[in-house]
Amino acid sequence: MVSYVIRRLLQAALVMLVVAFVSFSLFRFAGDPVNNMVGQEATQEDRRELRERLGLNDPFPVQFGRFVVDALQGEFGISYRLQRPVEDLIAERMPATLELVLVSAVLALITGIPLGVYCGIHRDSWVSRALLTVSLIGVSLPTFVIGILLIYLFSVQMLVLPSFGRGEVVQIGWWSTGFLTFSGWQALILPSITLSLFQLTLIMRLVRSEMLEVMRTDYIKFARARGLSNRAINFGHALKNTLVPVITIVGLNIGSLIAFSIITETVFNWPGMGLLFIKAVQFADVPIMAAYLTMVAFVFVSINLLVDLLYYAIDPRLKVDRGTAAGRLS
Amino acid sequence: MAMANPLLQVRNLVVEFPTRRGTLTAVDDISFDIAEGEVLGVVGESGAGKSMTGAAVIGLLEPPGRIASGEVLLEGRRIDNLPYEKMRRIRGKEIGAIFQDPLTSLNPLYSIGRQLTETIMTHTDMTPTQARARAVELLAEVGIPAPERRVDQYPHQFSGGMRQRVVIALALCVNPRLIIADEPTTALDVSIQAQIIALLKRLCREHGTAVMLVTHDMGVIAETADRVAVMYAGRIAEIGPVREVIKNAKHPYTHGLMGSIPAIGHDADRLEQIPGSMPRLTDIPPGCAFNPRCLHAFDRCRRDRPELIAVDDGQVSCWLYDTAAGRTTAEAKAIVASRSGTAMERADG
């Protein structure tokens, strides 16, 4: 177990290094930042001086080495556009994105799983057929369309919810939260629904198909023969057996929620990291882009690690010590 | 055959499967009893309806299968038409079940102890501590070494035979009156099979539990059952005391079945076999379902369906034993015992 975790951590470190390398080298071709930083009237001399100051004249390995060493200390350089440390910019924007993602993920899980269980058990009822049909919309409609539709309905037509921004936020240390104000919650509703809809339908459909699979197994039949209650069978025996694939997908999806909240943040002008990234791309603000990509990779790698550890918590077969297994199959 | 106080009575049970191409009758109008503490073997080929009968009794037919008509009575109470929740309380508590494959009967994610205590606490008022003590006791009873340690282990940590012992413990944990054992040894090694059958037999004798033992293994039946029902194409061909059926088969199908079992010590060059195969549910012939394969079939067999006729200590559904034809039982048995296809003509003439 411990050796497994250590092995996984080493793998994770390697993955991070590769990602850092790829993102760093890619961004060298994302355009010349100096062009954007200096004005039209800047002389050749000004430009050369700036390049020297930013270290852009050093050889590639030196620049990359500097990037990695700084990143390990949590430093990603100075934003070319905003002229402030990147880590500060990200720290400022992170609470907005994380709160949005948290609410979306919770929303997707607490509605997606019960709906999936319901559809898996009552596969032929008209309710589950209807849910399944509607869920197709969730899976296939692009996020920005959903967002714009919601804005049109609730902000333009009904005038009940704000169409952009976070509302009032309260500062707790460096963390700014929208959870403590009414307008903060109001502002969260539309973006979190927009962001969670795809995940919700995906989770629902996944849980449903896994449930259908599990309900056919012998141990469910035997559980019925033992006279267990439906609740114990459906939620105790069946649902737990669907969890391994569900956790895999959900884990990866929470990663992509964080990484790809960009679109939702753009639609709702949500002051999160996604918006920061989009603006950085437009400006070829390499330090921000590199930091963002590295951070997204870090999120994915840690979620993957967490998911692998959760498997152990769920499935005792993975902890098999070969001695007592006595060479059995499965 | 009237029984003094049958534990289970099955009366004219019909199990149907609606399919796109019409309704299939998997179990066709069968009746039998099981007495307190009795072991009834149910044999037949795959698809003869023996497992369906077991599933119908315990109320666990896989949809769209359903009981189309007939009754199932447990100690005189009808149980086939109970609402789901009431039937659930009977399952496990009064009728236990053991299925074919012990490797897949246990939930891989829960410890053995958890699965036992959960069943015990569903049907009794025991506290978790009491239920756990009972679980350990049960594991010891079914012959699992070091039960205090094993109780917290997971199914994958047990061998196939051990898992079937656990399954038996689960089926017996609240002392049901009847156990439906559907091919309990089929998935196991031959050497383990005998142990499991012996265990099941011992436990049921000790607890006075009746068993409906569904299998296609005549050897298991011969060793274990008090009575045996032979099923063919959804109907009971013959039912009677086990020695009677094995040594002195009355139905031509049973006779053929017994002839097809290799016997150690007899140097037969070839095993006898019944020509043809069991009809599919979609094309069961009119009259007796066995008539196309029967060496002794005559006109009536192709026209009318035989009901169970009481012969000696058992019942057989074969027109040869129809008393109206004026043939004695001995004559009918002689016809069945003869291998010649022309036996019928001789008997008729």
Q: Which of A66-75, A116-125, A210-219, B117-126 has the lowest mean pLDDT?
A: A66-75
For residue range A166-198, list pLDDT tens digits in order. 888 888 877 888 888 888 888 888 999 988 888
Eight-class DSSP state of A235? I
SS3 of residue A42 by DSSP:
coil
> What's the rounded mean pLDDT across residues A98-118?
91
Contact at CB, B92 and A225, closer than 8 angstroms: yes
What's the per-residue H, E or C state across A65-127?
A: HHHHHHHHCCCCCECCCCCCEHHHHHHHHHHHHHHHHHHHHHHHHHHHHHHHHHHHHCCCCHH
- pLDDT band for A29, please (50, 70, 90 cuts): low
3-state DSSP assignment of residue B15: strand
Q: Single out the residue of A89, A73, A31 nearest to residue A285, CA to CA.
A: A31
Closest among A284, A305, A295 to A261, alpha carbons compared:
A295
Cα four-point dihedral sign B298, B299, B303, B309: negative
Q: Which residues pair with B32 in a beta bridge?
A: B10
User: How close A241 gets to chain B, by Cα (Å)?
Assistant: 7
Q: What is the pLDDT of residue B211?
A: 93
Q: CA nearest B173 in A: which residue?
A: A226
Percent of chain B with pLDDT over 90: 35
Cβ atoms of B248 and B333 within 8 Å: the answer is yes
Determine the angle formed by the axes of helices A286-314 and A60-72, rounding to 10 degrees. Answer: 50
Q: Do B153 and A328 touch (CB under 8 A)?
A: no
- Give the tens place of pLDDT for each residue, B197-206: 888 888 888 8
Rg of chain A in Å (alpha carbons): 24
Give the ranges where chain B is alpha helix by DSSP (H). Answer: 50-58, 84-90, 102-105, 112-123, 128-141, 147-150, 160-172, 190-207, 218-224, 242-247, 252-259, 299-303, 329-337, 343-348
- The amino acid present at A262, given as its one-letter code, is I
CB A284 within 8 A of CB A271: no
pLDDT band at A288 (very low <50, low <70, confident <90, very high): confident
* Chain B closest-CA separation from residue A312 CA (Å): 11
Looking at the predicted structure, is the pLDDT value of residue A320 above 70? no
Q: Which residue bears the tokens 């689960």? A: B170
Tell me whether residue A313 is exposed, middle or buried, using C-beta atoms within 10 angstroms of its C-beta: 0 to 12, 13 to 18, 19 or more.
exposed
The Cα–Cα gap between A219 and A221 comes to 5
* Residue A2 near residue A299 (C-beta atoms within 8 A): no
Residue A104's identity, in one-letter code, is: S
Mean pLDDT of B61-75: 89
8 Å CB contact between B225 and B42: no
Mean pLDDT, rounded, of chain A: 83
Per-range mean pLDDT, top range of A50-54, A55-59, A102-106, B218-222: A102-106
Rounded to the nearest 10°, the torsion over CA A234, B97, B178, B85 is: 10
Q: Which of the given ranges, A25-34, A131-140, A172-181, B234-243, has the highest pLDDT on average? A: B234-243
| Contact B146/A at CB under 8 A | no
Residue for token pair 């209807």: A130
Exposure of A98 in the CB half-sphere (CA atoms within 13 A): 12
* CB-CB neighbors (< 8 A) of B111 in chain A: 316
Q: What is the number of alpha carbons within 13 Å of residue A314 lying toward its C-beta? A: 19
Reduced to 3 states, what is the DSSP secondary structure of residue B66?
strand
Residues of A in contact with B189 (CB under 8 A): none
Q: Which residues of A touch B103 (CB under 8 A)?
A: 329-330
Question: What contacts B55, CB < 8 A, 6 or more positions away?
Answer: B61, B62, B65, B182
Residue B214 bridge partners (DSSP): B42, B182
A305: its two tokens: 């690690």
Q: Where in chain A is the domain with CATH 1.10.3720.10?
A: 86-319
Q: How confident is the model at residue B267 (pLDDT cuts 50, 70, 90)?
A: low
Q: Tell me the C-alpha distance between B124 and A125, whole Å.
A: 34
Q: What are phi and psi of A160, to 5 degrees?
A: -105, -25
Q: How crowded is the C-beta side of B136, counted as CA atoms within 13 Å?
A: 10
> Would you call A140 helix, strand, or coil by DSSP?
helix
Contact A220, A238 (CB under 8 A): yes
Identify which has the larger pLDDT, B262 or B290.
B290
What is residue B263's predicted lDDT score, i.e. its pLDDT?
67
pLDDT at A321 over 70: no
Most distant CA pair in chain A, distance: 86
| Homologous superfamily of domain range A86-319 | MetI-like (1.10.3720.10)
Residue type, B220: V
What is the average per-residue pLDDT within B48-57? 90
How close A9 gets to chain B, by Cα (Å)? 27
pLDDT class of A110 with cuts at 50, 70, 90: very high
> How many beta-carbon pairs under 8 angstroms link A with B?
92
Distance of alpha carbon A169 from alpha carbon A130, whole angstroms: 39
The token duo for B230 is 């032979």
Say which DSSP state B44 is in: -
B170: nearest CA partner in chain A:
A226
The total number of residues written for chain B in this structure: 349
- State the pLDDT at residue A204: 92
Domains of chain B, residue spans:
248-261+286-348
Among A219, A229, A329, whose Cβ lies nearest the Cβ of B107? A219
> Quick check: B261 pLDDT over 90?
no
Buried b (16+ CB within 10 A) or exposed e, B163-172: bbbbbbbbbb
Q: Please provide residue A41's backbone torsions phi and psi, each rounded to the nearest 5 degrees.
A: -85, 0
From the list B28, B31, B29, the residue with the least C-alpha distance to B6 is B31
Categorize the per-residue pLDDT at B344 as very low, low, confident or very high, splitting at 50, 70 and 90: very low
Res B343: pLDDT: 42
From A6's Cα to the closest Cα of chain B, the distance in A is 26
Question: Is the pLDDT confidence value at A330 over 50?
Answer: no
